[in-house]
Amino acid sequence: MNRRDVLGLGAAAVTATLLAPGLRLIELARARAPEEAATGRRRWGLLIDASKCGDCDACVTACRDENGWDGHGRPATDAQWIRKVTLTDRQTGHVQALPLMCQHCADPPCVDVCPTGASFRRADGIVLVDKHICIGCRYCMMACPYQARSFVHEDVTNQKHHAPRGKGTVESCTLCVHRVDAGGIPACVEACGKNGNKAMVFGDLKDGQSEIARRLARASSLQIRPDLNLNTGVRYRNV
Amino acid sequence: MTHIHYRQIEGRSLGYYALLALLGALVAAGLAAAWYMEHNGHWVTGMSNQIVWGTPHVFAVFLIVAASGALNAASVAAVFGRAPYKPLARLSGLLAIALLVGGLAVLVLDLGRPDRLIVAMTTYNFRSIFAWNIFLYTGFIALVVVYLWMMFERRLNAYSRPVGVFAFAWRLVLTTGTGSIFGFLIARQAYDAAVLAPLFIAMSLSFGGAIFILVLLAACRGTGRPLGDELLRRLKNLQGVFVLAVLYFVAVHHLTNLYLAERQGVERFLLLDGGVYTRTFWIGQILIGSVLPLLIFFTARAGARALIAFGCVLVLLGGLAQMYVFLIGGQAWPMPLFPGKEVSSGFGDGAIAAYSPSLPEVLLGAGGIGIALALVALALKALPFLPESLADTDDDPHHKTGAA
């Protein structure tokens, strides 16, 4: 390495150091202030490429750690905010795997059926449960076509302050709303990018410049149970 | 027409107190079961994230459906002007309220957060059929209370007919609402059908009618009040028609599903190879709950009271079997996520969900029946719901000439 290269590298390092906080500022500027309401100008969504999704469960583990829905070793009653599903084509025998979670529908059946309005959809498309007014009737679980919701069947311990849970109420994927509101991305997407197969993209479906919107515009994708016309925020490719 | 004399039941016999003790024990067991489930969480029941509504719902929906049907006798008198049924109207209204209260108690005590009942009563989402039902149920109770008041208060008797007609219309809407809780579930192939609303109405007529006949027989026998054969003949024949009506709608529902290729899987599961659900359907719902009672109701003489009572018991057992197959079997069948593909996961996707009822669930459900019947037993002693006599000559002006 000659002196010119060393100088060049040094200059690059200085530039990066100077620019990084600026880039971070842009990210922060794009985040929503806590007092600012979620807006319908955005619609958060996910694009999942099933052809890239392998047999790892980085997304599931990351979600569990992030949101603290550790079970009691009882699969039938333990919560499951995100799960890996294996598909086998009945005709051809072709096998695929993909992660499945709340699909954050534009017309969510869970919100329609909830008697108290505890199930609700934010203006930016994230479907949530208000734990304070959920009475635990479980009608939303009957109505959800994706089996995306879990009932908290027993006492919960070690809750995360950003993901409150409660025995006797229903819960599901929040799209890591606490991260998204702070300008971040969901834990599953982050983990898939770091430790998985980079099969998941998160972003604003309404922002034509976002990566997710550009990818969706470029090639075909599908919703699960498109016949129900729920306009899901989670889209799949190569299923 | 002769005036009908109503009188409270004596309610001092050993039998009455034994009945109250038995019902009280049922209620206590139900409350204890609810406390146990609430304290530990629902994992101590047979319910899971796949079978989210279990045995308590079987009892609760059964009682709620039966409640509107128990109003039959009053409706036949008020809406269709049938004089022989008029003396039965008070008991009919009482039974309707009691069954609804029993069913709602089970429903509420099975909630994940029964302590938040006040939230359910004050915070509404009007797109939810559940929210509508809260109004339909409480409205029904209020309406029948007013109806009873009009019947009890002599100077208000004239208004009892219009109120009765309104209550009849309300009960039809109410049961439509109950059926639509399932009819509106787009994702589940065992439900999601408009025919569920009339099916539930037919079920209400049948289950409510059977409970009414049983309570009437027991009350008349227990208090030594006469009950005419002609009246019982009418009631049992009507009951037979109700059982037929349920069978008709059940057949329409299954035939419609069988016609759709996408639903042949769930139909095969329920009707052919679903194990306990298939057996419960054919043996419980069809044979015990429909065929045998039909034979009894259309062949037995009105004097064969034990046989008629037995037929009513069979209708109720068949009704519980029907609710079980419908509710649990319907949820056990997995939802179709990717048609044409086999789906599997660690969360029950693509698999028949396992369920077996737990003792607390059964006790809670039976507690609901206890609450309903205890209310009836206490009310019969407190107020004059039962006529002194239901002998044919007393209640049927058309029959009088022949009998005299």
> Are A228 and B52 a contacting pair at CB < 8 A?
no
Q: Taking the model in full, what pTM does it have?
A: 0.92
> Are A141 and B188 a contacting pair at CB < 8 A?
no
Tell me the mean pLDDT in the region B256-271. 96
pLDDT of residue A123: 96
CA nearest to A79, candidates A157, A153, A186? A153
Query: Cα–Cα distances in Å, from B313 out to A182, B214, B280, B317?
Result: 62, 8, 16, 6
Chain A within 8 Å of B278 (Cβ-Cβ)?
no
For domain B6-44+55-257+362-403, which CATH number applies: 1.20.120, 1.20.1630, 3.30.70, 3.30.1370?
A: 1.20.1630
pLDDT(B331) > 60: yes
pLDDT digits (tens, 9 = 90+) for B144-203: 999 999 999 989 988 999 999 999 999 999 999 999 999 999 999 999 999 999 999 999
Query: Where are the domains positioned within chain B?
Result: 6-44+55-257+362-403
Q: What are phi and psi of A96, to 5 degrees?
A: -140, 160
Evaluate whether B42 touches B358 at the Cβ level (below 8 Å). no
Chain B within 8 Å of A87 (Cβ-Cβ)?
yes
pLDDT of residue A232: 98
Q: Chain A residue with minimal CA distance to B113?
A: A135
> Are B345 and A117 a contacting pair at CB < 8 A?
no
Identify the band that residue B401 occupies on the pLDDT scale cut at 50, 70 and 90: very low
Q: What is the ipTM of this complex?
A: 0.92
pLDDT of residue A16: 66
Of B48, B111, B128, the CB nearest to A136: B111
pLDDT of residue B403: 38
CATH 3.30.413.10 is right for the domain spanning A44-237: no
Separation between Cα atoms, residue B28 and residue B234, nearest integer Å: 37
> Are B130 and A72 a contacting pair at CB < 8 A?
no
Residue ranges, chain A, pLDDT below 50 = none
Chain A within 8 Å of B188 (Cβ-Cβ)?
yes
pLDDT digits (tens, 9 = 90+) for A81-134: 999 999 999 999 999 999 999 999 999 999 999 999 999 999 999 999 999 999
pLDDT of residue A2: 73
Separation between Cα atoms, residue A209 and residue A65, nearest integer Å: 31
Chain B within 8 Å of A105 (Cβ-Cβ)?
no
Q: Which residues contact B343 (CB under 8 A, 6 or more apart)?
A: A85, A86, A87, A88, B334, B337, B349, B350
| Terminal alpha carbon distance of chain B | 15
Chain B within 8 Å of A168 (Cβ-Cβ)?
yes
pLDDT of residue A27: 55
